[in-house]
Amino acid sequence: MRVISFINGSLISESASLYALHYAKEMKLKIDFIHIESQDNLSEVQTSLKKLTSLADSYEVENEVLLFDSFDGAKEYLTSKELDVIFCATRHNHSFFEKSFAQTLLKANIKTDLAIVKIVKLSMHESVDKIVMPIRGSKLSVKKFSFFSAFTLAYNAKAEIYSLDKSSKGEMANLSTQQEKERFQEILFNLKHYFTLAKMMHLKFSLKHNFALLADEKVTVHIAKNNYDLTIIGGHHDKNFFGHHPIDILFKTPITNTLFFIPYKDQV
């Protein structure tokens, strides 16, 4: 099994690759740095590769550099290997992956998970002290929890799962403290197996829950107020590439560096 990170010589792709490298180190996996020749500045690509491979060597992570002259060539290589996850940076702000390499990866339907990285601050990858993973209610897959756990352990970070329930104006107006407490206990019960897994992994995380009329605004304020260094959110792939869920605003207009994790089953 190996981790793949696509690079193009930009500081954004280099930062995304550094997240990939930390993940590979924690999971004890090999990492391949892949570049597809295009209009990128080759000098910048080489400089980025030199930095990444040197760091990988210092981490004792087995690594390889692969250059392809087309995406088809890279796809042929990827489909012949056992992959854990592919990391790819994107810089688009106006829509999800419009005319981007990330969209090309999604359309390629390669049998592996994807981690699309949105970089807000280039230096954030160097010190990740606080990680948050927003979820809807108690909707949390084993794959997403494993991905979240790997980064929490890799950075030895303080971690939080932030659960949100979207509510109407009427529901919010009539919401009692007792109802909030009961809903939190229900979510805690639904997620209890993750706390058991965390204990076995010597992983600590906290759980917080809120009701919200405007879930996208609520989660954005929460992240900004608590100064998280990294946000991990799950992808929701459909025929239009992504459903319009409130928490998806974190990818479109992120507050912190954000990893948009898309399990393979959600790509098909």
Q: What is the pLDDT of residues 136-195, one digit of tens each?
A: 888 899 999 999 999 999 999 999 999 988 777 777 767 788 888 899 999 999 999 999
The encoded tokens of residue 199 equal 């204990």
Identify whether 18 is part of a domain.
yes
DSSP H or E run through 190: helix 177-190
Asked if residue 142 and residue 93 are part of one domain, the reply reads no
Q: Are residue 83 and residue 194 in the same domain, yes or no?
A: no
Tell me if 263 is assigned to some domain: no
Question: Of the candidates 144, 131, 140, 110, which has an alpha carbon nearest to the alpha carbon of residue 260?
Answer: 144
One domain for residues 111 and 229: no
Q: How far apart are CA 223 and CA 231, in angstroms?
A: 8
Residues contacting 136, CB < 8 A, separation 6+: 163, 164, 165, 166, 245, 247
pLDDT (0 to 100) of residue 97: 45
Cβ 116 vs Cβ 260: under 8 Å: yes
pLDDT under 50: residue ranges of the chain: 94-98, 237-244, 246, 268
The half-sphere exposure of 262 on its side-chain side, counting CA atoms within 13 A, is 30
pLDDT of residue 101: 81
For 250, the domain range is 125-255
pLDDT tens for each residue of 213-232? 666 778 888 888 999 999 99
Q: pTM of the full predicted structure?
A: 0.88
